[in-house]
């Protein structure tokens, strides 16, 4: 079977002198149903209608909206239509942003913890107030279904709320001294300017998770958003300004794919930058670490994942199927903690596969993210779809059974796919997919499952389902990952740590520990005291 998407778009964009825009994108999308699971015969007009203050197209440096010598297009991945043209900042603008952040740091770090807390809380309130418009930006620039975009905005805002509270809980220590004439104090102080480099799959939340902690600690930041999704970052800058965040504290330098290496080099090598925080691929993270090494910068890296999802014979199968659906198909499989390798024990393999196939048929609907029934939007671009299609082809050629889906559709749409009889020799079990492909490996023993799960050079998230309490403790401790979901497919929350082991990165984000990534500990010895 095959699917045909016929897409007709009408685009109108009016620019104001301030280079913000009121942009209305009307897209007519007709989908003809020719395979099970795709909603039939949609004929509807979609529109992105965001007011001028929130749809910004310039960079944001030192409290000013700045143009660049050129612009680059931002596309709706569902239609391929241009939705905006954004300033293509280069090394010069990046350097200006670093200088502005360094200048602002000397005053921002003098703000009291309560003053920083109040400003972050105002920023949180504004994100909550404008969540609908901000969610529309996410849907149109990264393709995420609207219900998920609204979920991301709640998640994004929650980090500003959390770190507005943590700002007032940065405690030092008074340590008992071995000598009577001195006191030992350990002080926590902000590291300085932080370069924040973020991905496209959570274009708002990945910024606030880093920036919330940085600003709470007293650091200033320069944000380089992904070239596919700069609009969300610029909207955050607009709301930061409205919240009263001082000029230079929060800067955004959007740029095209072509200028990303030169901008990234400035942000990782400039001596005025004290810290870099990056979320993205392991390969890119290694490049940034090498750039940062010459000036010995503090670094946080949230890199690639290859999450195992293990279902043991004792598991509640219905619960495991629900967890698999949530963990695999959220954002069409484009999250770093998406389950990538599914391992199901022999005793329940057939029952699990049958119920999972029925759930896929019942719950998954392809379409534009603005359509209320859509659960699966497009992949971010055609390269992403090509990668998934290649993994499917490789697996089938090596003996995997294609049980659901498997088709590459028009544009960057990819049919949700279920593969059975998968082996560890197949490409989909060796590299991260970042798409709606669910490959299932049959296993016999707990030791076998753990050996397969841990046979990876990355370790971000891992999931397993079991009702055996002893087994739960054994497996949770044995999995070589930074996050473990036990009978749960969705893990992320600002109260808990987020980060991996092995080549999945360095450091932790979120939780009470996230702010420590932006702090230095200074030892102060106060001597000459009279007993």
What residues are annotated to the active site? Answer: 302, 336
Name beta bridge partners: 183: 526
d(CA 171, CA 497): 19
* DSSP helix/strand/coil, 526: strand
Task: Find out whether 386 and 435 touch, Cβ atoms under 8 Å.
Answer: no
- The pairs formed by 427-430 with CB atoms below 8 angstroms and a separation of 24 or more are 427/390, 427/391, 427/394, 427/395, 428/340, 428/341, 428/391, 428/392, 428/394, 428/395, 429/340, 429/341
d(CA 285, CA 194): 16
Task: Find out whether 363 and 233 touch, Cβ atoms under 8 Å.
Answer: no
Taking only Cα atoms into account, the Rg of the chain, rounded to an integer number of angstroms, comes to 24
In what order do the strands lie in the sheet containing 4-15?
4-15, 21-32, 42-50
d(CA 93, CA 526): 44
Name beta bridge partners: 526: 183
Closest by alpha carbon to 500, among 458, 448, 469?
458
Name beta bridge partners: 85: 73
Helix/strand/coil (H/E/C) assignment for every residue in 345-400: EHHHHHHHHHHHHHHHHHHCCECCCCCCCCCECCCCCHHHHHHHHHHHHHHHHCCC
Closest by alpha carbon to 298, among 516, 522, 101?
516
* DSSP helix/strand/coil, 262: helix
């Amino acid at each position: 079977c095959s699917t045909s998407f016929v897409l007709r778009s009408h685009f109108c964009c009016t620019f104001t002198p301030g280079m913000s825009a009121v942009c209305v994108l009307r897209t007519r999308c007709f989908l003809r149903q020719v395979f099970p699971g795709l909603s039939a015969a949609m004929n509807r007009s979609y529109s992105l209608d965001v007011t001028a203050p929130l749809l910004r197209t310039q960079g944001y440096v030192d409290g000013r909206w700045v143009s660049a010598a050129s612009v680059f297009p931002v596309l709706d991945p569902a239609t391929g239509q241009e939705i905006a043209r954004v300033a293509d900042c280069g090394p010069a603008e990046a350097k200006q942003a670093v200088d502005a952040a360094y200048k602002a740091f000397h005053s921002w770090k003098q703000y009291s913890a309560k003053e920083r807390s109040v400003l972050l809380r105002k920023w949180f309130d504004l994100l909550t107030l404008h969540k609908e418009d901000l969610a529309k930006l996410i849907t149109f620039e990264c393709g995420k279904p609207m219900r998920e975009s609204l979920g991301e905005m709640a998640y994004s805002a929650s980090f500003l709320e959390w770190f507005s509270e943590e700002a007032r809980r940065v405690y030092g220590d008074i340590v008992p001294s071995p000598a009577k004439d001195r006191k030992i104090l350990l002080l926590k102080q902000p590291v300085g300017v932080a370069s924040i480099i973020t991905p496209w799959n959570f274009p708002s939340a990945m910024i606030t998770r880093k920036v919330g902690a940085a600003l709470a600690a007293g650091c200033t930041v320069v944000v380089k958003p992904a070239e596919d999704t700069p609009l969300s970052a610029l909207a955050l800058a607009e709301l930061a300004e409205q919240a009263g965040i001082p000029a230079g504290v929060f800067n955004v330098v959007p740029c095209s794919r072509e200028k990303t290496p030169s901008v990234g080099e400035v942000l990782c090598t400039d001596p005025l930058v004290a810290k870099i925080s990056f979320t993205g691929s392991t390969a890119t993270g290694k490049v940034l670490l090498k750039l940062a090494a010459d000036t010995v910068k503090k670094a946080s890296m949230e890199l690639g994942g290859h999450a195992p999802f293990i279902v043991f014979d004792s598991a509640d199968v219905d619960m495991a199927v629900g967890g698999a659906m949530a963990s695999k198909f959220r954002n069409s499989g484009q999250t770093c903690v998406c389950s990538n390798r599914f391992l199901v024990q022999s005793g329940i393999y057939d029952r699990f596969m049958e119920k999972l196939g029925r759930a896929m048929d019942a719950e998954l609907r392809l379409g534009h993210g603005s359509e209320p029934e859509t659960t699966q939007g497009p992949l971010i671009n055609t390269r992403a779809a090509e990668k998934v299609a290649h993994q499917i082809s490789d697996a089938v050629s090596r003996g995997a059974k294609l049980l659901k889906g498997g088709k590459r559709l028009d544009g960057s749409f990819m049919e949700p796919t279920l593969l059975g009889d998968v082996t560890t020799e197949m490409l989909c079990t060796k590299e991260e997919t970042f798409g709606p492909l669910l490959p299932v490996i049959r296993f016999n023993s707990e030791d076998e499952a753990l050996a397969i799960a841990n046979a990876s050079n990355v370790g971000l998230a891992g999931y397993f389902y079991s009702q055996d309490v002893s087994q739960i403790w054994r497996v949770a401790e044995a999995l070589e990952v930074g996050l473990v979901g036990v009978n749960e497919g969705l893990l992320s929350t600002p109260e808990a740590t987020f980060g991996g082991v092995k080549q999945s990165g360095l450091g932790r984000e979120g939780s009470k520990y996230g702010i420590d990534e932006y702090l230095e500990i200074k030892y102060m010895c106060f001597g000459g005291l009279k007993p």
